[in-house]
Chain A
Amino acid sequence: MLLVRKLNLHIGPILLASALIIGAAVWQGYASWQNQRSVSGSSVPGLVIGSAAAAIILFELLLWPRKALRRIRLFKTKAWMAYHIWLGLACGPLAFIHAGYRFGGSFTTVLMGLLFFVLASGVYGWILQIVIPRWMLEHLPQETVASQIEDVSILNALEARQMLMVSLGPKPDGTASLESLDAVADSMRGSSLIRDSERNVEAIVVGARQRRLPSRRAAETPIQGIASDEERLEIWKGYASVIEPFLLHGSQRVGQLATPQRSKEWFQLLRQSSSAVCGPLLDRLESWVSQRQQFEMQRRAQAWLHGWIGFHAGASILLGVLLIAHIITAIRYW
Chain B
Amino acid sequence: MPITGKQRAQKIDPRYHARKDPWIVRKRRLGWIGLLIGLVSSGWLLSPRGSSHVSTGALSRVHQPWNEQGCEECHTSQVPIRSDAWRGEHPEFVALNNMACSKCHPVGGHKNDSTRKEVLASEACNQCHREHLGLNQDLSDVADNQCSRCHSNIASVLERASGSEPNVSSFSTQHPAFRFEMKPGDPGTIKFSHIQHLRPGQPKTPGDATAKKREHLPTKDQDRYQVDPDSQLVTLNCADCHEPDSTSADGAAALDHKTFRPVNFESHCSACHGLDGIPHGLNRALTEKAIADQLPVELFKFFQQRGDTSQLDPQEIQEKEMRLKALLSSKTEGCAKCHQLALPADPATDSIVEPSNVRKRWLLDGTFVHGAHRMVDCKSCHAAAYRETGSTVDSEREADTIMIAGIENCRECHIQDAKKRMERASSQTHVASANCIDCHRYHIDPVSSLPTAGTLQ
Residues of A whose CB lies within 8 Å of any CB of B are 31, 35-37, 39-44, 47, 64, 102, 104-108, 142, 144-148, 151-152, 155-156, 193, 205, 207-208, 210, 212-215, 217-218, 222, 280, 284, 287, 291, 302, 306-307, 309-311, 313-322, 324-326, 328-329, 331-334
Contacts and interface: CB of A to CB of B under 8 A. Distances in A.
Contacts of B143: 36-37
B3 A148 contact: no
Interface stretch (B70-78, B190-198, B273-281, B414-422): B70-78
Interface of B: 1-3, 7-8, 10-16, 19, 21-23, 26-27, 29-31, 33-35, 37-39, 41-42, 45-46, 51, 53-58, 71, 75, 77-82, 84-86, 88, 132, 143, 145-146, 148-149
B112 to A, nearest CB: 24
Contacts of B22: 147
A37 B85 contact: no
Given A148-B16, A306-B23, A325-B42, A40 B149 contact: no
Given A215-B3, A332-B77, A334-B85, A106 B10 contact: no
Contact of B79 (A43, A104, A326, A334): A334
A333 B21 CA distance: 45
B80 A334 contact: yes
B12 A144 contact: yes
Given A39-B84, A218-B7, 20 more contacts: A36-B149, A40-B82, A104-B57, A105-B57, A107-B55, A210-B14, A215-B11, A302-B23, A309-B23, A310-B23, A310-B26, A310-B30, A317-B31, A322-B38, A325-B54, A332-B75, A332-B78, A333-B71, A334-B78, A334-B88
Contact of A314 (B34, B71, B78, B85): B34
Given A155-B11, A212-B11, A318-B34, A105 B82 contact: no
Nearest to B2: A287
A22 B7 CA distance: 57
Contact of B42 (A310, A322, A334): A322
A313 B34 contact: yes
B85 A40 contact: yes
Contacts of A213: 10
Contacts of B8: 142, 144, 152
Contacts of B31: 64, 310, 313-314, 317
Given A147-B19, A332-B77, A315 B12 contact: no
B34 A40 contact: no
Nearest to B54: A329
- A-B CB proximity, top 10 nearest: A321-B38, A314-B30, A36-B145, A42-B85, A314-B34, A325-B42, A318-B34, A317-B34, A334-B80, A306-B23
Contacts of A144: 8, 11-12
B395 to A, nearest CB: 51
A315 B34 contact: yes
Contact of B34 (A104, A105, A215, A316): A316
A125 B150 CA distance: 53
B222 to A, nearest CB: 61
B19 to A, nearest CB: 6
A102 to B, nearest CB: 7
Contacts of A210: 13-14
A151 B46 contact: no
21 contacts: A40-B85, A43-B82, A43-B88, A104-B56, A105-B55, A106-B53, A106-B55, A108-B56, A142-B8, A148-B11, A155-B11, A208-B13, A215-B11, A218-B3, A311-B30, A314-B31, A321-B39, A325-B46, A325-B54, A328-B46, A334-B85
Contact of A105 (B23, B46, B58, B81): B58
A151 B3 contact: no
Contacts of B30: 310-311, 313-314
Contacts of B37: 318
Nearest to A159: B11
Contact of A333 (B14, B23, B81, B145): B81
Contacts of B148: 36
A329 B45 contact: yes
Given A151-B13, A317-B38, A107 B54 contact: yes
Nearest to B12: A148
Contacts of A145: 12, 16
Contacts of A322: 38, 41-42
A231 to B, nearest CB: 20
A333 B132 contact: no
